[in-house]
Amino acid sequence: MKNMLSFSPLKLITVITILTFLNACDAIKSSSLMAAGNADKSNIVPPQRSGLNSMSAGGLTMLGLQGVQTERGMMYSIDAVLFDFDKASLNASAQATVDQLAGIIQQNAGRYIAVEGHTDNVGSKSYNQDLSERRAESVAQALVSRGVDYGRLQVKGFGENRPVVSNKSASGRQKNRRVEVTILN
């Protein structure tokens, strides 16, 4: 029985990477875990949706980002697909997304930007807090490298404390691993 359960670190990382990719594909196909009734509603922070302005709607089409108008401002969610497993640096596929997001931010000169990192609940709370802070800072630095003034950015990590859906499923955990960039009102 022990032989069946033992994995080398490389095999384990490969399996986790494949599962993460498959779950991301599944998340794209399904509209929402909450609508399917699979979510545990405790501790879930619901988005506050209202209409998108025309500039943001165009940006959403180009970016493929989850965008919602909140009480605080227009919020774009960058999910874990843009980060390699357990890493804080943006991967190669993130570059076009960050380029276009920086363009939208620059069209809103004078407005402050909140860059907030979030994780799922796998791992220790302190590790998840640190990872969320490093991912938020990574996105902030990528925006700065594209001309956004760091003085406009409010960078913070929330760890596992603000899930948008339940962490009980792999696809739920995928949705909770994100960085939210909000153009503040």
Using the structure block, give the residue that is written with the tokens 């640190």: 130
pLDDT range class, residue 152, cuts 50, 70, 90: very high
**Residue 84 CA from chain centroid, whole number:** 12
pLDDT, greater one: 4 or 155: 155
Q: Across all residues in the chain, what is the average pLDDT?
A: 74
Q: Which letter, b or e, does each residue of 107-127 get, where b requires 16 or more Cβ atoms within 10 Å of its Cβ?
A: ebeeeebbbbbbbbbeeeeee
Helix (H) or strand (E) holding 130: helix 125-144
User: Which has the closest alpha carbon to 123: 173, 180, 179?
Assistant: 173
> According to the model, what pLDDT value does residue 28 have?
40
Query: Domains in the chain, please, with CATH?
Result: 2-184 (3.30.1330.60)
Summarize pLDDT for 68-108 with one digit per residue, the tens: 899 999 998 877 667 776 888 888 878 888 888 998 899 99
* Single-letter residue type at 161: N
Phi, psi (rounded to 5 degrees) for 75? -115, 130
Instruction: Answer whether 0.85 is exceeded by the pTM.
Output: no
